[in-house]
Structure 1
């Protein structure tokens, strides 16, 4: 069984697949026993064929395909459910996350107390457009005010978390944006780790500020309700 499963959701990212897989191999091969699980959210380009061809160069690669387009959160969750590793690293499929940061997150995990179950990437020097940076800054401030999750950047795609803890969280569409708050709701601790961020070199973004805002308002209310209704207690067996 691998020590680590790297889960990468993709939708129409055919040109970003080979270079990102090469970077994952450069960062992890020979250093840790790992697998890479790509989850194709029913791409309309030839991402599926590109992934099939990459298996010859990357024996660690496993490929899942959605039968209907279901979004990033569902892709991440299906990848985690299929994963064999006890710990999961996630990357966005657009290549803006740097796989070289995965060993840094693993080192943070090894030095942390066992109650820390999520190590969240923190893009301290974002390479996005000014409008996306402004939109994210506003969304992060609003989310932090309402949820009090003490996390500066929940939208960063690179994360490291325990598989069992993740699968114990409530599932809903867009949940990947609220993992710190959901982990804390479950009684676990979260640590933000500064990571590298790169400009997108191929393809186009699948999100807009307006689209995120429309679903974000409902999501924030829902997560706040989940936190308010949460009940936790220790247990012992006699």
Structure 2
């Protein structure tokens, strides 16, 4: 059992209404990790469960000093629960795992060994190659989503949705997750220079409890993907995003207004009732608004990064130091 303040490995599991699975999960983690030489802890974040999972966690933790339960005041969602686990964890290596017993804790020692043998790697992402979900409505949308996310982010993984992942603490130090962003952590960390690899892991069918998956989650993931794309490409240059859209509207609008002004002044044409006039005014005003948003974005970026703010770059350790 781990009683030392120094912890090398922190396992993190968001828990939501998993009363039936919790005893098996805790027992399996204990069986696997107790055989490891590393000091470790198991951080379970109850995400506002209503089935008694919070009380069961409290009871299980009484005789298990390595089990660290945390309780959110309400159901915030998996990403927030996982962020709470990251904040609470003390280990140098963070291992995320689902609380539904579909991930296999027995994979963790192998992944830890891989991470030790590959000091240049910061994140190992699990790939449920032989996925055991029976519902086609989970497999097919997931396959499409993984290809789309890989294409948009440039970090090509077969299985973004697999919760079993290993992170070096420094790799996710500056990553904050909201909404459904927990599945995008490898892509977000890659933006800060993290090196990501993928490996096959076991996957089991759910035998207890009720799945929390719904088609609405797919929609939320797509919306978050739009935000991730914007953040990865334009976080440090918002003017390129808003200014580009603004210019595409402003200059055609100005040309339309100049054209109408010319035929009014030199051709004495009546332009007051022309739809082209309304279009020119609309494009010019919308373009101006977008350019203004770009300028405000640039100002906010500088306020964020300059004195007292956050540096726009990160330094890394010299080559070979990690070994």
User: If the TM-score is normalised by the length of the shorter chain, which range does it land in?
Assistant: over 0.9
> RMSD in angstroms over aligned alpha carbons?
1.7
Aligned position for 1:24: 29
For 1:233 and 1:17, the matched residues in 2 are separated by 41
Superposed, 1:1-238 pairs within 5 Å as: 1-31=6-36, 32-114=38-120, 116-129=121-134, 130-208=136-214, 210-230=215-235
The structure with more radius of gyration: 2
For 1:57 and 1:200, the matched residues in 2 are separated by 27
Q: Give aligned pairs, total.
A: 234
- The structure whose residues are more often helix, as a share, is 2
Unaligned runs of 5+ in 2: 1-5, 237-311, 317-323
Unaligned runs of 5+ in 1: none
Residue 130 of structure 2 aligns to a residue whose secondary structure is: coil
For 1:166 and 1:108, the matched residues in 2 are separated by 19
Of residues 63-72 and 52-61 in structure 1, the stretch that sits farther from structure 2 once superposed is 52-61
Of residues 71-80 and 141-150 in structure 1, the stretch that sits farther from structure 2 once superposed is 141-150
For 1:157 and 1:235, the matched residues in 2 are separated by 28
TM-score (norm 2): 0.69
Structure with more contact order per residue of length (Cα contacts < 8 Å, sep ≥ 6): 1
For 2:30 and 2:169, the matched residues in 1 are separated by 21
For 2:33 and 2:315, the matched residues in 1 are separated by 38
For 1:141 and 1:71, the matched residues in 2 are separated by 24
Assess, with a 3 A threshold, how the Cα gap between structure 1 residues 235 and 45 changes in structure 2: closer, same or farther: closer
TM-score (norm 1): 0.93
Runs of 4+ with >3 A deviation: 230-236
- The structure whose residues are more often strand, as a share, is 1
For 1:47 and 1:159, the matched residues in 2 are separated by 24
Question: Following TM superposition, by how much is the alpha carbon of 1:58 offset from its aligned partner in structure 2, in angstroms?
Answer: 2.6
For 2:227 and 2:155, the matched residues in 1 are separated by 15
For 1:91 and 1:46, the matched residues in 2 are separated by 20
Q: Deviations over 1:43-92 (max 9, x none)?
A: 01110111112124432101100012111111111111111111110110
Residue 55 of structure 1 aligns to a residue whose secondary structure is: helix
